Chains A and B, each alone.
Chain A
Amino acid sequence: MPSAAPAVEIRGLVRRYGEREALSGVELSLPAGSTLVVFGPNGAGKTTLLRVLATLLRPHAGRVSVLGSELPGDAWAARGRLGLLGHEPLLYSELSARQNLRYHARLHGVGEERIVELLDAVAMTRRADEPLRTLSRGMVQRVAVARAVLHEPELLLLDEPYANLDPAAIELVAPLIGASASGAERTRELCSHDPGRGLAQADLVLGLRGGRPALLAEAATVRASEITELYR
C-alpha cells in the first residue's frame, strides 16, 4: 500500500538538448511505494525524464524533488538510494557478471553475499565468471537487473526492463524489480510500450508526446485505447 509522502515531485520540469526542448510542462507527484508508468512513442522524452530523476541530467527549469532531495542541488543525497535500469546495461563487457557486480557492490558498500544471492536469483551462477561479451543479450539484461537492485534502492527507475528477456527470464527478474521486492516499500518509475503489462503495474500513468504530457491520470481510470492513441 503506497504511503502518502511523495517520493518524486515534479513541477514545471523543462529539459533541453541545445535549442530543442526534450521535456517540458511535466507536473506530477508520486507517493512513496507507488509505480509511475510512462508511455510514449520513441523520442517522446521518457528516457530524458528517467535520466533527470536518476540525477544524471540536470533540469533546466522547474522543480524536481527525488526522495526528499531537490535536484540538482541535493542530488548527492538521493544517489545510492535509487537504482537505474536503462537501455544500456551499465556493465563492462570485458568483465564477468561476478566482476561487474563486485565492482558495483564495492562502490555501494554492499557485501559479497548479496552478489551470490542475486546471481542465484537471476539464474546466472553457472556463467557468472564468463566475460559479458560472450553472453546473450538476455543474459546481460539479467545481470543488469541484478546490478540495478544490488543496493536495494528505494526508487527504481526502469526503462523497458523486460527488453531482450524471454518469458522464463521475465519470471526470474519480475520479483526483483517488483513494487514490494525484499519486503520494503519501493517506488518505481517505469518506461514501457506495452499497455497491458504497463497498466497492470501502474498506480499513476503518464503519457508523453513530443516531450509534453499528453495523458496523466490514475491507472484505474486509464483505458488501454488511450495509451494506444499516444502512438498514433
Chain B
Amino acid sequence: MSATLGESPAAAAPAAGAPAARRGAGFGSTVAAVLRKELLVELRTLESVPAMSLFAVTTFVIFHFALNRGSVEGDLAAGVLWVTLLFAAILGVNRLFVADADQGGFDAFLLAPVDRTALLVAKVLTLLGFLVALEIVAVPAFSILLLAPPVGPALGGLAATLALGDLGVAVIGTLVAAMAVRTRARDLLGPLLTLPLFVPIVIGGVRCTAPLLELTHRSGPPARWLATLGVYDLVFGLLAFALFDFLVED
C-alpha cells in the first residue's frame, strides 16, 4: 500500500537543498555536559561510590579474618589490595549506564547532533572519578586493617600504579558496560566479560605494587610492569574509541 500527499514529481527526489545538519555542542562541551550530569545523578543517588567503598572495606575485614593474620605485606598485600579494588570497581561498572538505559538517556543522547565518542570519554572520566574516590577510602582502610608496613613511603609509586590500573579499568569497564546494558542479563554479563579482561591489570598492578608494600620498601614500581599497564590501557583505549559508535547503535 502506498500513498503520497500533495507530492509533485520533482518533490519525489530527496529534498534538494535541504537544510544542513544542525551542529550541536562541540566534543569538549558534550563531554562536560555528560560529566556534569553524571556527577549530579551520583550526588543525588549516592549509588555507586558509597557502595564500592563499603564493599572494599568489608572485603578487607573478611580478608583479615579469612587469612587469620593481623597484617600482610609484599605479594600478598598487593594481591589483596588489587583483587578487592577490581571487584569493587565491578559494582561501579554495572551501574554505569543503568540510568541511561532505564530512563531513556541513551536515546536522548543518540538523538543529539554530537560526537558519540564524547559519551565514551565522559563515562570513562566518570568511572575514573568513582575509582579515585573509592581508593581515597579503600587505601587508608587497607593500611589500617591489613597492611604491615606504613603506606606513607609507598604513596607516590602506589598512586602512579593505581592511576594506570584505574585508566584500564575505566576504559574496559565502560566498553563492557555499554555492551552489556542493553541485554537482559546485564548484571551477569558485565562481570563475566569484565573479569577476564581485568586479569592483565591485576598481574601488572600486583607486580608494580608488591615491592612498594614490602616491610623494607626497597624499590619503586618496576618500569617494565608500569609500561605493560600503560600499553594495555592504550590498546583498550584505541579499541574502545573504534568500537563505541557501533556499540551504541541499534
Contact = CB atoms under 8 A, between A and B. Distances in A.
A76 B24 CA distance: 11
Contacts of B4: 6, 28-29
Contacts of A78: 21
Nearest to A15: B250
Contacts, number: 163
Contacts of B19: 67, 81, 154
B185 interface: no
B236 to A, nearest CB: 26
B15 A80 contact: no
A22 B151 CA distance: 60
Interface in A51-100: 54-58, 65, 67-70, 76-84, 86, 88-95, 99
Contacts of A65: 14-15
Given A29-B5, A154-B19, A80 B113 contact: yes
Interface string B85-115: 0000000000000010001110111111110
A57 B24 CA distance: 21
Contacts of A76: 21, 113
Give the size category of B's interface with A: 35 or more
B183 interface: no
A7 interface: yes
Given A77-B21, A81-B19, A28 B111 contact: no
B13 to A, nearest CB: 9
Interface stretch (A30-38, A161-169, A191-199): A30-38
B6 interface: yes
A189 interface: no
A138 interface: no
A89 B20 CA distance: 28
Contact of A6 (B11, B103, B104): B11
Closest 5 CB pairs of A and B: A80-B113, A68-B18, A68-B15, A27-B2, A106-B33
21 contacts: A4-B7, A7-B15, A30-B5, A34-B6, A57-B250, A67-B15, A70-B14, A80-B21, A80-B22, A84-B111, A90-B108, A92-B41, A92-B105, A94-B40, A94-B99, A95-B40, A103-B36, A106-B30, A106-B32, A108-B24, A109-B24
